[in-house]
């Protein structure tokens, strides 16, 4: 359910080297195939076969792409067809068993049973390192599959290329369209043993006109091949230990760039050294959090969450400093910053980037610089919405990069030209042809007849506009502050007093007729129903409470979200959530509600915040395979867990305020980006003691269940005293 991958990677690494158990087509005959949904990260635990190991994976997305440069070691007869799951006999795919599988930071191991090969994987930032131990010396093959990919379909590959440079070196690329319209992954491969023999699939009917190539025997030992659907095999004589190693470097720039990346990061053949170096990187990340809990599952879940928050955004730049920009040109960082990709911003602005502001100051700065470069390189002159691999895929709604920027400013991230950043935010937010934005600017709301999911858009634009206003205010840009402060009130324009919910309007100003606040297919909303989305005014919670009838009524209303009994019909045809992930009508697997539980603090019911937070922490994140109640959404779900388990949460990024919840751990030392440590002591912790009796920071009582980032970042002791009884 979490759509995470089990393979090897270093923190924020460009290479994510992981097994793909199936990669069924995204679409069949042009029609979306719903079965593909579970393969967002290429791997499903219940699958009995592995196709091979590919080098790029998203962690926790709800749509997909990537799965590039799939390597499959095989023995015996060459088979250039991956075969049909779950039948390994139909191709080079192999059965495997979880008992031979081992996945730990920067290491993955499995035995491919049909070929009797033990596969071990590790990585550097830009290079995947494979070690294959065969059972026979004279029957070792490597399949290089450039067709395979995640969310693949006929015609996704635009072009692929392979060139044999010498007896141990291959370069090439895979060029695709799809979620990313114009994406090229360049690669360079080196083998530890010389290639004895090589060849390609039959590409006679491969949609690529072959010119005058008929003059060669193209199927064997011909040093270059180009086609839309290309698979190659390589045969080896093994040394006495039956081991074959290979290194696969990636680049967004060129094949030469990939070779350079390999030269720099992985010039030798010491598998254990690469593994160790990557482990050391993981240690540095994981040990930023020193957690104590008597419940081992909590430790497991917590560190798993930390791991998941270091899987993206990922480095997207060659060691030379060059990278491919959104304009498809080659750019170079001269300021020493690192270019990042995979911005799932609708998810990650909520807690992941705020978490980075606590513990990954430098990376978050570079990520924001990457976003500003994206904006400069954008044909639409817009900040990223959902972008990966030098492409904007426009997934989801809003323009939440502005939240990340405003939050960074609010939290003192330096090294960013914020005047320029504000300009990028304003330009983005004034892009009239983007998703009803022109109408929103004219009418104060997005009309449903002009642009779907209009309520969700109106609410999120309003929040984003508040972020822009805050940034403008602090930068002294009064006119911008005024304009966007006004826009930030737009949520009021879709509030329907008669139902008490935010409700879609037409461009004539009328609420649309049919309305079911619990339906997840109700027009006006995306990844959430009216019930949940109506609570999405993180920047003006007090006003929202007033709008909805005052504190008491609001508290009751909010509580009913968790206590209501829902009919089964509301669970039909929903992606990204499980029945188990739902409490009443609260859906933790989807992001729009991530701040909701903390709203009880604002209406005099901190006890309910504490109760439900604890409930989510204990039931929606489990220390087992497939333990997440929804996609990890590029680290957002995990970042929510980390914050909430520590006892506070950034309800409204762009402000520097955290809301206090109910800590799950007993004791924590957090190594902050500032260099200081944040100590969290939880007294009288216990399974039933979910209620906070008192909370102090550096001995001072915390008021209104809020603490500011500027306090925390200097370090100190946050002390909770817990109780089994609610204290209101």
- Contact residues for a copy of itself, defined by CB under 8 A: 27, 153, 155-156, 158-159, 161, 163-165, 175, 177-182, 207-213, 215-217, 221-224, 226, 228, 254-256, 327-330, 379-380, 386, 393-395, 433-435, 451
Nearest residue (CB) to a copy of itself, 209 versus 334: 209
Distance (Å, rounded) from C-alpha 469 to C-alpha 465?
6
Q: At 587, phi and psi to the nearest 5?
A: -115, 100
> CB count, 10 Å around CB of 508?
8
The verdict on whether omega for the bond into residue 377 sits within 30 degrees of 0, i.e. cis, is: no
User: In terms of CB distance, is 259 or 535 closer to a copy of itself?
Assistant: 259
Residue among 154 and 297 whose Cβ is closer to a copy of itself: 154
CB of 424 to a copy of itself, least distance (A): 16
As measured in angstroms, the least distance from the Cβ of 215 to a copy of itself is 5
Structure-block tokens of residue 530: 């009216």
For a copy of itself, the closer of residues 152 and 655 by Cβ is 152
Q: How far lies 517's CA from each of 502, 524, 545, 566, in Å?
A: 9, 10, 18, 12
Residue number with CB closer to a copy of itself (219 or 300)? 219
Name the residue among 638, 643, 681, 677 with its Cα closest to residue 660. Answer: 643
Comparison of 43 and 179: residue with beta carbon closer to a copy of itself? 179
Residue 567 neighbours by CB distance under 10 Å: 7
Residue 11 or 178 having the CB closest to a copy of itself: 178
- Written in H, E and C, the secondary structure of 562-598 is HHCCCCHHHHCCCCCECHHHEECCEECCCHHHCCHHH
Which lies closer to a copy of itself via its Cβ, residue 211 or residue 336?
A: 211
Least distance to a copy of itself from the beta carbon of 670, Å?
37
Residue closer to a copy of itself by CB (options 155, 415) is 155
Please identify, using beta-carbon distances, which residue of 102 and 328 lies nearer to a copy of itself.
Answer: 328
3-state SS of 402-471 is HHHHHHHHHCCCCCCCHHHHHHHHHHHHCCCCCCCHHHHHHHCCCCCCCCCCHHHHHHHHHHHHHHHHHH
What is the C-alpha end-to-end distance of the chain, expressed in Å?
36
Cβ at position 158, least distance to a copy of itself in Å: 5
Residue 166 or 516: the one with the smaller Cβ distance to a copy of itself is: 166
State in angstroms the smallest separation of the CB of 163 from a copy of itself.
Answer: 5
For β-strands 386-388 and 107-112, DSSP reports them as unpaired
Closest among 203, 201, 197, 202 to 234, alpha carbons compared? 197
- Per DSSP, the three-state class of 231 is strand
DSSP string, 661-683: ----SSEEEEE-TTS-EEEEEEE
Q: What are phi and psi of 42, to 5 degrees?
A: 85, -20
Q: Please, are residues 485 and 464 in contact by the beta-carbon 8 Å criterion? A: no
Residue 374: CA count within 13 A, CB half-sphere:
27
């Amino acid at each position: 359910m979490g759509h995470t991958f089990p393979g090897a990677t270093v923190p924020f690494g460009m290479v994510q080297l992981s097994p793909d158990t199936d990669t069924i087509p995204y679409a069949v005959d042009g029609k979306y195939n719903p079965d593909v949904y579970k393969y967002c990260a290429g791997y499903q635990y219940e699958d009995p076969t592995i196709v091979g190991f590919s080098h790029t994976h998203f962690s926790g997305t709800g749509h997909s792409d990537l799965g590039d440069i799939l390597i499959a070691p095989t023995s015996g007869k060459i088979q250039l067809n991956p075969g049909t799951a779950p039948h390994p006999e139909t191709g080079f795919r192999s059965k495997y068993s979880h008992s031979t599988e081992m996945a730990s930071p920067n290491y993955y191991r499995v035995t491919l049973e049909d070929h009797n090969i033990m596969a071990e994987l590790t990585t550097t930032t830009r290079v995947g390192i494979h070690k294959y131990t065969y059972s026979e010396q004279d029957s070792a093959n490597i399949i290089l599959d450039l067709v395979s990919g995640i969310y693949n379909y006929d015609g996704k590959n635009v072009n692929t290329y392979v060139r044999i440079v010498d007896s141990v070196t291959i370069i090439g690329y895979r060029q695709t369209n799809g979620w990313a319209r114009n994406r090229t992954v360049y690669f360079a491969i080196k083998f530890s043993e010389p290639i004895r023999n090589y060849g390609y699939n039959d590409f006679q009917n491969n949609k690529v006109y072959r010119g005058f190539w008929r003059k060669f025997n193209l199927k064997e030992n011909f040093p270059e091949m180009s086609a839309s659907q290309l698979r190659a095999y390589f045969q080896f004589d093994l040394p006495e230990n039956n081991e074959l190693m290979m290194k696969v470097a990636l680049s967004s720039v060129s094949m030469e760039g990939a070779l350079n990346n390999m030269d720099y990061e992985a010039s030798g053949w010491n598998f254990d050294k690469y593994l160790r170096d990557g482990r050391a990187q993981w240690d540095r990340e994981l040990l930023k959090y020193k957690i104590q809990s008597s419940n081992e599952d909590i430790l497991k879940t917590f560190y798993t969450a930390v791991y998941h928050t270091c899987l993206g955004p990922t480095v997207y730049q060659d060691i030379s400093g060059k990278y491919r920009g959104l304009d498809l040109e080659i750019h170079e960082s001269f300021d020493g910053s690192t270019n990042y990709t995979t911005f799932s911003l609708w998810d990650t602005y909520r807690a992941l980037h705020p978490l980075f502001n606590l513990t990954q100051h430098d990376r978050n700065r570079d990520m924001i610089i990457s976003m500003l470069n994206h904006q400069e390189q954008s044909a639409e002159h817009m900040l990223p919405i959902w972008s990966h691999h030098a492409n904007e895929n426009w997934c989801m709604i809003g323009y939440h990069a502005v939240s990340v920027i405003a939050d960074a400013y609010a939290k003192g991230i330096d090294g960013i030209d914020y005047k320029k950043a504000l300009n990028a935010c304003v330009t983005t937010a004034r892009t009239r042809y983007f998703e009803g934005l022109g109408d929103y600017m004219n009418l104060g709301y997005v009309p449903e007849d002009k642009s779907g999911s209009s309520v969700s858009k109106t609410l999120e634009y309003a929040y984003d506009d508040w972020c822009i206003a805050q940034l403008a205010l602090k930068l002294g840009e009064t006119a911008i502050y005024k304009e966007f402060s006004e826009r930030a009130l737009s949520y009021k324009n879709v509030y329907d007093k008669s139902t008490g919910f935010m409700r879609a309007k037409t461009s004539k100003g009328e609420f649309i007729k049919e309305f079911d606040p619990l339906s997840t297919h109700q027009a006006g909303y995306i990844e959430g129903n009216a019930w949940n989305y109506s609570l999405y005014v993180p920047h003006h919670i007090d006003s929202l409470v007033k709008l909805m009838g005052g504190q008491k009524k609001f508290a009751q209303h909010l509580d009913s979200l968790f206590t209501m009994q829902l009919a089964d019909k509301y669970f039909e045809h929903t992606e990204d959530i499980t029945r188990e992930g739902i409490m009443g009508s609260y859906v933790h697997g989807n992001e729009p509600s991530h701040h909701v539980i903390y709203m009880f603090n604002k209406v005099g019911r901190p006890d309910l915040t504490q109760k439900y937070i604890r409930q989510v922490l204990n039931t929606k994140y489990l220390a087992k395979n497939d333990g997440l109640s929804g996609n990890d959404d590029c680290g957002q779900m995990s970042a929510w867990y980390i914050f909430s388990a520590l006892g506070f949460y950034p309800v409204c990024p762009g402000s520097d305020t955290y809301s206090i919840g109910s800590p799950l751990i007993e004791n924590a030392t957090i190594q902050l980006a500032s260099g200081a440590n944040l100590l969290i002591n939880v007294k009288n912790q216990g399974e039933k003691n979910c209620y906070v009796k008192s909370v102090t920071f550096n001995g001072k009582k915390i008021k209104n269940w809020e603490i500011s980032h500027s306090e925390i970042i200097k370090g100190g002791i946050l002390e909770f005293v817990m109780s089994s009884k609610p204290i209101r």
